[in-house]
Amino acid sequence: MATREDVIEALRAVAEPTLKQPLAQLGLLRDIVVRESGVSLTVVLHPDSMPESVRLESEITAALGALQAGKPHIRVRAMTEHEQQQAKASGETGQAGTAAEPKKGAVPVKGHSAGLEQNPLLRPDSEVVSIAIASGKGGVGKSTVTVNLAVALARRGKRVGLIDGDIYGFSVPDMMGIEERPEQVGDKIKPIERFGVQVISMGFFVEDNSPIVWRGPMLGRMLRNFFADIDWGELDYLLLDLPPGTGDIALDVHQMLPRSKEIIVTTPHATAAFVAARAGAMAIKTNHEILGVVENMAWYEKNGERDYVFGRGGGGMLADTLHTSLLAQLPLGAPDNHPSEPDFSPSVYKADHPTGLEYLALADEVIARCGK
């Protein structure tokens, strides 16, 4: 099967009609996904080139025909003003930008953070319930819990937003099977809707899974942009997938959302619970309500027999330490989703899956505790 690099190479001679430079060189081939069923990609064009989009699609289809069977799925959109500036700079330098940096202009940075208190989500009278999902360490399934809780809340008819605040370790777009990128409408960015959840992530603004090499203050500004520059619409719940531990981003969230509630995720292992207690202690010190603890990977079940792979009791011990409740115990496993499904995602459980039902029960408990 062809690779992403093969696709770029096959399209290396295809030029942007207005800028007269190869699309690949300008970094205008986006969201390239190669599957056995065919190739999917987004082509970004100068606004003056949009009348040429049909001809360009035919040219791209012909170029990819020799590479892989199946008609490619091609999405075409016009550049934003920021992307036009970036493309102009790329054309002048002959480069598509620095791989380790986010795409310049992907998120408008206009100094909005100075007026964050005016943001509807952050005002003291906001009726949106903000819930930060935290853990003491990585690898406990915090992001899996976050996306499945968000989807479960949406399945219960709630209007849900999700911020992938784990800016160094963003994973939500991949976990939810999101391949498209947000678009700018006016001076705001529209989040991507998936399974009824409005999603925004640093992963939307970084090319090729590149590492983020920013320092804390820059990350804090980006997180503020997720509030100031995103058109969230009407929400009942806003979930934030925090980075593990008690670093700068977690502290920024606590400062920006003084009324947010928190769920702590751990595994049954005693050490994981011990480390997670630090995240809970941070919430308590910053006067944030802890809704409870979720014990993930509580057991592995096969042929009706449960194997407690990571031991037992860690979640309950952590809940006792933080003087809160154990909200759920979720098994170790993976969704039985198949890539051929139209709504495929690697990590979201179907509503009728046994674990999906556990997440619906967790959502019900959250709704009851939040009174919304």
**pLDDT score recorded for residue 7:** 87
CA separation for the pair 190, 29 (Å, rounded): 20
Q: What is the pLDDT of residue 144?
A: 95
In the chain the domains, ranked by start, together with CATH numbers, are: 4-93 (3.30.300.130), 125-370 (3.40.50.300)
In this prediction, residue 282 carries a pLDDT of: 80
Strands of 38-45's sheet in order across? 29-35, 38-45, 73-78
- pLDDT attached to residue 247: 56
313 half-sphere exposure, CB direction, 13 A CA radius: 4
Structure tokens at 360: 């619906």
Q: Are 265 and 133 in contact (CB under 8 A)?
A: yes
Q: What is residue 252's predicted lDDT score, i.e. its pLDDT?
A: 66
Nearest to 363 by CA among 236, 250, 260: 236
Burial (0-12, 13-18, 19+ Cβ within 10 Å), 184: buried
Q: Which stretch of DSSP H or E encloses residue 319?
A: helix 314-321
What is the mean pLDDT for each group of 10 consecutive residues in the chain (372 residues)?
A: 83 92 87 76 88 90 82 83 68 42 40 50 79 88 95 95 82 89 83 93 70 51 75 92 70 69 93 86 81 95 90 92 93 88 88 95 95 78
pTM of the complete model beyond 0.75? no
